[in-house]
Chain A
Amino acid sequence: ILNVEQSPQSLHVQEGDSTNFTCSFPSSNFYALHWYRWETAKSPEALFVMTLNGDEKKKGRISATLNTKEGYSYLYIKGSQPEDSATYLCASPLRAGTALIFGKGTTLSVSS
C-alpha cells in the first residue's frame, strides 16, 4: 500500500449499534497513525495519535487499535449516538518527519 486508504466510504447505523471501520497505511517506515473526527461545518479534531504496534487507545465510547506490521488500524464506536455522526479521517506520514497523508474518510451517520 503506497497510500492511506479507509473503508467503508460511508456507513449508516441505528442508535445503540456498535460499529467499526478500517484505515490501511504503508507498513514500511511506519512512524505514526492519526485519527481525526470531522463534523460538518467544523474543523477536524484529533482523536488519537498512535505509534506503537499493538497499541490500543480509548476516548469514551471510541477506541482504536493499531497493527503496524500489517499496516492497518481499526476505529470502534460502542453504542453509537446521533452526535457521533461525522466523517472519521485517518492519516499517516510515509516516513518519519514527512507530512501526513490523509485517507478520504469514513462518513458515519447515526439515526435515532
Chain B
Amino acid sequence: EAQVTQNPRYLITVTGKKLTVTCSQNMNHEYMSWYRQDPGLGLRQIYYSMNVEVTDKGDVPEGYKVSRKEKRNFPLILESPSPNQTSLYFCASSPTASGNTIYFGEGSWLTVV
C-alpha cells in the first residue's frame, strides 16, 4: 500500500529537548516536504527536498533542520524545541514538486511545554 508514514503521531516534550519526527514514503518519490498547520494560518511549508541530498527552506524554516540521506526518508529535527513550535506537522511526498498529486502522512501532533 502506497503511504507516507510519520512518527511519532503524538508527542508532548519540554522546551530545549531535542526531538526528531521521522517520515518515510514507499512510493519512490523524489520530492518530500514538511508542513505545519496552525489555526488561521493554513498549511505552511517548513522545508522541502527535491531529491537525495538536496534540501531547501520553505516559508517557516526557523528552528528546524532536515536531512535527506536516502530517498525514502526525510526526518524533521527540532534541535531545541520551543513552545511556539507546538503544532500539527505533516510530511508529504510527490513524484515532482508541483505537477503531481501530493501524498500526506497522517500528521504528528507536537506539544512543547
Contacts and interface: CB of A to CB of B under 8 A. Distances in A.
B90 interface: yes
B41 A99 contact: no
A52 interface: no
Given A32-B98, A43-B106, A99 B43 contact: no
Given A43-B90, A99-B33, A105-B42, A93 B98 contact: yes
Interface string B18-35: 000000000000000101
A100 B98 contact: yes
Contacts, number: 61
A89 B100 CA distance: 15
Contact of B97 (A45, A97, A104): A97
A44 B90 contact: yes
Interface in A8-35: 31-32, 34
Contacts of B103: 46
B101 A49 contact: yes
B86 interface: no
B40 A93 contact: no
Interface string B79-110: 00000000000100000111111111111000
Interface of A: 31-32, 34, 36, 42-46, 49, 51, 89, 91-93, 96-105
Interface of B: 4, 33, 35, 40-45, 48, 58, 90, 96-107
